[in-house]
């Protein structure tokens, strides 16, 4: 029985060794991260500068001033930051410089700059400005009348009343319109004619002396008229006129200079008359002397003949 075999034991399991062979494959070289990100950026089409058609310079300037495109070229001898002025406004508002009250809202810029030297100086430097301020005293109705004349491109209206014409003339000066402008000349001529042909009241004298100034042609004309009327005796109350003038130092000073100039002119005229009279007397005396000499010679000749 000893030879009898028992149940056989299973063999010990063994683990087979599996060897993995890695196939050598080509790999891309490692590159910096910045260059890798560069590959991911989209490709933007950039046309060549020579292929682009070039627009005329006037069109480019208009587009640049309107803000549609930017200036990319660099002018010779200038910096790249080229600044273009803003488009000029078609109308401006005329406002009071002290109270900022709007006198007239829509005044054509071109017409205002064409008649007013001060408006041309201010608005030429600031084309984007929407307001034109006036300073000094003025009468609102007269100012509106002058502004309407500017808008309609007409000459300044002339009235039969001297005070109304002076108020309009003052409004022209506040707007910066010179007295030599063609649209103001008819008004200035009417004022000088009215001053020469009417009695100058204290109100008119005060207005001209304090509102217009000593350098204004109306002021100079009034001073000449007063001096002429006083010299001719056309002033009814000389003492009252003297007191009225004495209250205005600038007018009194101007009249003193005018009187001195007139006195020198009259003296020169009288001296010229005296010289002409003396010359004529000398000539007549010389002629009489020559005549007497000729008569004497004729008498002597007759005596010899006898």
The number of folded domains in the chain is 1
Asked whether residue 278 is assigned to any structural domain, the reply reads yes
Three-state DSSP state, 91: strand
Q: Averaged over 49-58, what is the pLDDT?
A: 62
Q: Is the pLDDT of residue 2 over 50?
A: no
Residues 6+ apart with CB under 8 A from 46: none
Question: 208 phi and psi, to 5 degrees?
Answer: -70, -40
Asked whether residue 168 is assigned to any structural domain, the reply reads no
Closest residue by Cα to residue 169 from 106, 227, 219, 113: 219
Instruction: Kindly list the strands in the beta sheet with 102-108, ordered across the sheet, starting from the edge strand earlier in the chain.
Output: 102-108, 91-96, 131-134
Asked whether residue 34 is assigned to any structural domain, the reply reads no
Residues 6+ apart with CB under 8 A from 150: 107, 111, 112, 115, 175
Asked whether residue 267 is assigned to any structural domain, the reply reads yes
Q: How far apart, in whole angstroms, are the C-alpha atoms of residue 93 and residue 245?
A: 40
Whether the CB-CB separation of 231 and 200 falls below 8 Å is answered with no
Residues 13-39 pLDDT 10s: 565 556 565 656 666 566 566 666 666
- Give the CA angle between residues 232, 234, 238 to the nearest 5°: 100
Q: How far apart, in whole angstroms, are the C-alpha atoms of residue 214 and residue 253?
A: 10
Asked whether residue 78 is assigned to any structural domain, the reply reads no
Q: Which of 41-50, 174-183, 198-207 has the lowest mean pLDDT?
A: 41-50
Percent pLDDT > 70 in the chain is 65
Q: How far apart, in whole angstroms, are the C-alpha atoms of residue 191 and residue 185?
A: 10
Asked whether residue 229 is assigned to any structural domain, the reply reads yes
**Total length of the chain:** 306
Looking at residue 236, its pLDDT comes to 67
CA 171 → CA 158, 236, 258, 305, distances in Å? 13, 33, 28, 94
> Can you read off the two tokens belonging to residue 152?
């309609």
What pairs with residue 91 in β-bridges? Answer: 108
Residue 74: left if φ>0, alpha if ψ -120 to 50, beta else—which one? beta
Q: Which of 167-176, 265-274, 290-299 has the lowest mean pLDDT?
A: 290-299
Tell me which residue range forms the domain holding 268: 199-299
What pairs with residue 102 in β-bridges? Answer: 95
Number of helices and strands in the chain (H, E):
11, 3
Asked whether residue 274 is assigned to any structural domain, the reply reads yes
Asked whether residue 161 is assigned to any structural domain, the reply reads no
pTM surpassing 0.75?
no
């Amino acid at each position: 029985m000893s030879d009898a075999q028992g149940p056989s034991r299973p063999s010990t399991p063994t683990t087979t060794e599996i060897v993995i062979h890695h196939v050598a494959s080509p790999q891309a070289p490692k590159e910096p991260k910045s260059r890798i990100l560069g590959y991911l950026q989209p490709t933007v089409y950039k046309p060549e500068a020579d292929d682009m058609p070039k627009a005329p310079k006037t069109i480019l300037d208009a587009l640049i001033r309107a803000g549609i495109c930017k200036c990319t070229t660099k002018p010779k001898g200038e910096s790249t930051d080229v600044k273009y002025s803003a488009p000029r406004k078609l109308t401006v508002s005329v406002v009071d410089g002290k109270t900022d009250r709007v006198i007239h809202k829509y005044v054509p810029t071109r017409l205002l700059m064409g008649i007013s030297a001060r408006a041309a100086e201010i608005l030429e430097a600031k084309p984007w400005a929407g307001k034109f301020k006036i300073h000094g005293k003025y009468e609102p109705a007269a100012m509106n009348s002058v502004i309407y004349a500017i808008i309609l491109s007409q000459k300044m209206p002339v009235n039969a009343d001297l005070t109304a014409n002076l108020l309009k003339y003052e409004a022209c000066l506040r707007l910066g319109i010179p007295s030599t402008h063609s649209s103001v000349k008819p008004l200035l001529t009417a004022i000088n004619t009215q001053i020469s042909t009417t009695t100058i009241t204290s109100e008119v004298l005060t207005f001209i002396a304090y509102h217009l100034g000593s350098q204004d042609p109306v002021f100079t004309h009034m001073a000449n008229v007063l001096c002429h009327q006083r010299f001719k005796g056309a002033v009814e109350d000389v003492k009252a006129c003297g007191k009225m003038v004495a209250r205005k130092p600038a007018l009194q000073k101007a009249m003193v200079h005018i009187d001195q100039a007139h006195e020198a002119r009259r003296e020169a005229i009288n001296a010229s008359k005296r010289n002409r009279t003396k010359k004529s007397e000398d000539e007549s005396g010389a002629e009489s002397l020559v005549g007497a000499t000729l008569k004497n010679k004729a008498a002597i000749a007759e005596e010899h003949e006898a």
